[in-house]
Structure 1
Amino acid sequence: MHPNPTFRWQDEAAVRAFVRARSFAQLFATTPDGPAVAHLPVTLADDDTLRFHLARSNRLASHLAGATGLIVVNGPDGYISPDWYGLGPDEVPTWNYLAVEIVGQIELVDHAAMMDQIDRLGQEHERALAPKPEWRRDKADPGKIDRMASAIRGFRLIPSAWRATAKLNQNKPEAARLAAADAVAARGQHDLAQWMRDPPARP
């Protein structure tokens, strides 16, 4: 994460809302063959743990229970040209981004907890597709669901540390930051531009 304290994102509620909204992460852990990563959907539970599942055949699956893991949730990012600030020739290029890192102990969960995680993941994202009728697991053939579920394993990560960065040109004068945001929007990166226009408050 960027070492400049200007970019530290310390609003815990906003960081957690960001993780819930993004719902997709990279999980890093160590295996006997070295470090490995899995790309997977996550849900943030009411007890502040992160729940996820992955295929039993994933090379990380058999090494996670009891391990320390690092989950990374990324937001929009993009290149920033120094010309966009309007501050003269002595500026340099940079890259703006949002990212949250969560470190913690990983536990294997039972079948019921794994299925609950899958149901919650579906419910959270199906709601956003309204007026489409909501998909629910009970609409599917239970035998087929059971066969598919037997091919995955469910886990939870119990956080010991959260680290969040929102690097959005907060170190520049407001007019320069907004000018860069307009240029980013003109390239079609509207999500990043909106974050640049309204970055998290400084710590």
Structure 2
Amino acid sequence: MHPNAAFRWEDRAAMRALAKDISFGMLFLNTPDGPHVAHLPFVFLDDDRIGFHMARNNAIARHLDGAEALFVINGPDGYISPDYYGIPDQVPTWNYVAVELVGAVRKMDEAALIAQSDALSHHQELKLAPKPVWTRAKMADGMLEKMLRGIYGFEMQITTWRSTLKLGQNKAEAVRLSAADGAEEAGNGAIANAMRNLT
């Protein structure tokens, strides 16, 4: 996380809300085979626990059960030109939002894996309204069992939350908002919105 205290984000509920909305991240683990990362969708099982699944032949899968891992969720990010600030003697930078979760990982049994998969698809399907929600009831007989043979489910009990909210908080408000306008004019509305509303 960024060492500047101005960019430290302590609002746990806001971090959780951002992570839940994105629902995708990178799981990092140092294994006997070297460091590995898996890119995964996830769902919150409760306030301090996430669930995810991956292919059984994923290089990280055989090392996860019982390990401590790092899960990173990246929010909006973007280049900030010195010209955006409207004041002299600035330098280019990159603004971004990131949440890091650290915790112990354990393998799920089949019932928990099915529940996690259902919760994940349901959370995403609700975002597609007014489209009718897809459920596994639409799958042909035997397809769920076939899918389950190829994946493992895991949960992480989060013990540490870390986050960076680097959005120009070290600048005067008018200067930060000017930079947000510049980012939006350059086509990065997501980072501009974060600069205006998350600080």
Q: Give TM-score scaled by structure 1 length.
A: 0.95
Cα distance in 1 for partners of 2:120, 2:79 equals 32
Equivalence for 1:180: 179
Q: CA distance change for structure 1 residues 47 and 183 in 2, over 3 Å: closer, same or farther?
A: closer
Q: 2: CA distance between counterparts of 1:25 and 1:142? A: 31
1:39 aligns with 2:39: yes
Write the deviation string for residues 98-155 of structure 1: whole angstroms up to 9, x where unpaired: 0000011110010111111111111111111111111001111130111011100000
Distance in structure 1 (CA, Å) of the matches to 2:81 and 2:187 = 15
User: How far off its partner does 1:199 sit?
Assistant: 2.4
Partner SS state of residue 122, structure 2:
helix
Q: Structure 1 residues 91, 167: closer, same or farther in 2, change over 3 A?
A: same
Match of 1:3 in 2: 3
Does structure 2 conserve the Cα–Cα contact (< 8 Å) formed by 1:100 and 1:162? Answer: yes
Report what 2:59 is aligned to: 59
CA RMSD of aligned residues (A): 0.9
SS in 2 for 1:188: coil
Instruction: After the TM superposition, list the runs of 4 or more consecutive aligned residues in structure 1 that deviate by more than 2 angstroms.
Output: none
In structure 1, give the amino acid aligned to 2:169: Q
Partner of 1:71: 71
TM-score (norm 2): 0.97
- Stretch of structure 1 that moved more, 183-192 or 90-99: 183-192
Q: Is the 8 A contact 1:25 1:41 kept in 2?
A: yes
Report the residue type matching 1:10 in the other structure: E
**Match in the other structure for 1:156:** 155
Deviation at 1:46, TM superposition (A): 1.7
Matched, 1:145 2:144: yes
Aligned to 2:132: 133
Percent identity, aligned pairs only, is 52
For residue 42 of structure 2, give the secondary structure of its aligned residue in structure 1.
strand
2:172 and 2:192 map into 1 onto residues whose CA distance is 16
User: Which residues of structure 2 form unaligned runs of 5+?
Assistant: none
Look up the equivalent residue of 1:128 and give its one-letter code: K
Q: How many residues align?
A: 199
| Residue aligning to 2:113 | 114
- Asked whether 1:94 is paired with 2:93, we answer yes
The gaps in structure 1 that reach 5 residues or longer are: none
Q: Are 1:170 and 1:199, in contact at CA under 8 Å, matched by a contact in 2?
A: no
User: Within 2, Cα distance between the matches of 1:41 and 1:152?
Assistant: 13
Amino acid at match of 2:61: A
**Aligned equivalents of 1:43 and 1:131: distance in 2?**
22
1:3 and 1:65 map into 2 onto residues whose CA distance is 31
Residue 47 of structure 1, CA deviation: 4.9
